[in-house]
């Protein structure tokens, strides 16, 4: 009971942190300020999470291996599919299932067919993703929480909504300067200026 109160207290305190930096608690991460710092509304975050969960459930029902091969990222209803699948027909099937999901406004299908990535490369990819997140997080001109990152075989996939072309270019520049990055695949959209 005391531990739960401590976590809630830390979550509330972290909501007021100016940098919106997650607070580490043991092996977990408390991100109380996460939704407060996002440009999208709470409902948008829930919708993206629901869309992602529905797509993953569909992929699992097709084949658990497809579910483990494919990565799904959703931002403002825009879906990005990445990964290397074991069956070539799974590429189109996954895209079809994503499009058939309520709330999806676009699908970028970057799935490929072939042999999986080695364990050592998976570790390198994890380091690249963490380094990209850190570089973006530490740049005050970037609202880092508005961007999602996935690395696969040295290729960095970025999705999100930038406030301006300058912010998008800065995100791409930060990612490009990370050691081990072979290419950048950007699916970042720039917000339309409101008149």
Domain 119-190 has CATH 3.30.1340: yes
Strands 155-162 and 183-190: parallel
- The string of pLDDT tens digits covering residues 53-76 is 999 999 999 999 999 999 999 999
**Quick one: pLDDT band at residue 7, thresholds 50, 70, 90?**
very low
- Residue ranges, CATH 3.30.1340.30, the chain: 42-113
Could you give the count of Cα atoms lying within 13 Å of 2 in the half-sphere of its Cβ? Answer: 0
Q: Order of strands across the sheet with 155-162? A: 147-152, 155-162, 183-190
Q: Name the residue among 107, 105, 75 with its Cα closest to residue 94.
A: 107
**CATH no. for 42-113:** 3.30.1340.30
Q: Tell me, what's the pLDDT at 2?
A: 47
Q: What is the pLDDT of residues 178-191, one digit of tens each?
A: 999 999 999 999 98
Q: Which of 20-29, 67-76, 151-160 has the lowest mean pLDDT?
A: 20-29
In the chain, where does DSSP find H-type helix?
2-14, 34-37, 42-62, 64-69, 89-99, 119-137, 165-176
CA pair distance 125, 186, nearest whole angstrom: 17
Number of helical H runs and strand E runs in the chain: 7, 8
Query: What backbone phi and psi angles, to 5 degrees, belong to 105?
Result: -105, -20
């Amino acid at each position: 009971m005391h531990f739960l109160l401590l976590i809630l207290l830390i979550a509330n305190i972290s909501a007021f942190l100016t940098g919106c930096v997650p607070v580490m608690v043991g092996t977990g991460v408390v991100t109380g300020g996460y939704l407060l710092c996002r440009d999208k509304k709470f409902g948008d975050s829930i919708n993206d999470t629901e869309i992602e969960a529905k797509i993953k459930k569909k992929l699992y029902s097709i084949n658990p291996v497809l579910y483990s091969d494919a990565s799904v990222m959703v931002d403002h209803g825009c879906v990005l599919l990445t990964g290397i699948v074991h069956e070539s027909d799974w590429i189109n099937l996954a895209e079809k299932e994503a499009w058939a999901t309520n709330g999806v406004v676009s699908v970028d299908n970057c799935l490929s067919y072939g042999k999986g990535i080695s364990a050592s490369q998976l570790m390198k990819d994890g380091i690249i993703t963490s380094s990209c997140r850190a570089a973006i997080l530490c740049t005050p001109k970037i609202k880092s929480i508005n961007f999602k990152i996935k690395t696969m075989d040295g290729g960095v996939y970025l999705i999100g909504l930038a406030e301006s072309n300058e912010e998008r270019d800065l995100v791409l520049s930060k990612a490009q300067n990370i050691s081990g990055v072979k290419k950048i695949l950007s699916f970042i959209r720039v917000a339309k200026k409101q008149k």
